[in-house]
Copies of this chain bind each other. A is one copy, B any other.
């Protein structure tokens, strides 16, 4: 994580207490928090941090490529700190849990040239949906 802060400083980031705690929150478990959850956890470390700053900081981390924005449910966006490691998501349709997964093969290759309509295709996002073991048990 201090790697992250170093990297960002190298890119001209001014290192404030607020940015530090946001980075610290994201660095914890490999979960996918919403902006509000990040704010709540950041506020435990730095009570006076504002929502606007959390949004700003998350936005910056996303455009610097340090964090990924995922929106699997059309509700609040979630922030995925695992940006340096290509992966996709497996989502439980019942409880919304998100797991990172690593499909085999080249996903981009699945789209034939004849189906590209002249687009320059550069990325692919995959969401697998199903029922997690926990929810299957309590069905």
Which A positions have Cβ atoms within 8 angstroms of B?
Answer: 69, 71, 74, 77, 90, 92-93, 99, 101-105, 107-108, 110-112, 115-133, 136
Q: Return chain B residues, CB-CB under 8 Å to A108.
A: 128
CB-based contact A115/B102 at 8 Å: yes
Q: Which residues of B contact A130 (CB under 8 A)?
A: 116, 119-123
- Quick one: which of A118, A122, A127 has the most chain B CB within 10 A? A118
16 A–B contacts from the bound complex (CB under 8 Å): A71-B71, A90-B111, A90-B116, A99-B119, A101-B111, A101-B116, A101-B117, A118-B132, A118-B133, A119-B131, A119-B133, A121-B129, A122-B129, A123-B128, A124-B128, A125-B127
* B contact residues around A129 at 8 Å (CB): 121-125
Chain A binding site: helix, strand, loop or mixed by DSSP? mixed
Within the complex, the shortest CB–CB distance from A92 to chain B, in Å, comes to 7
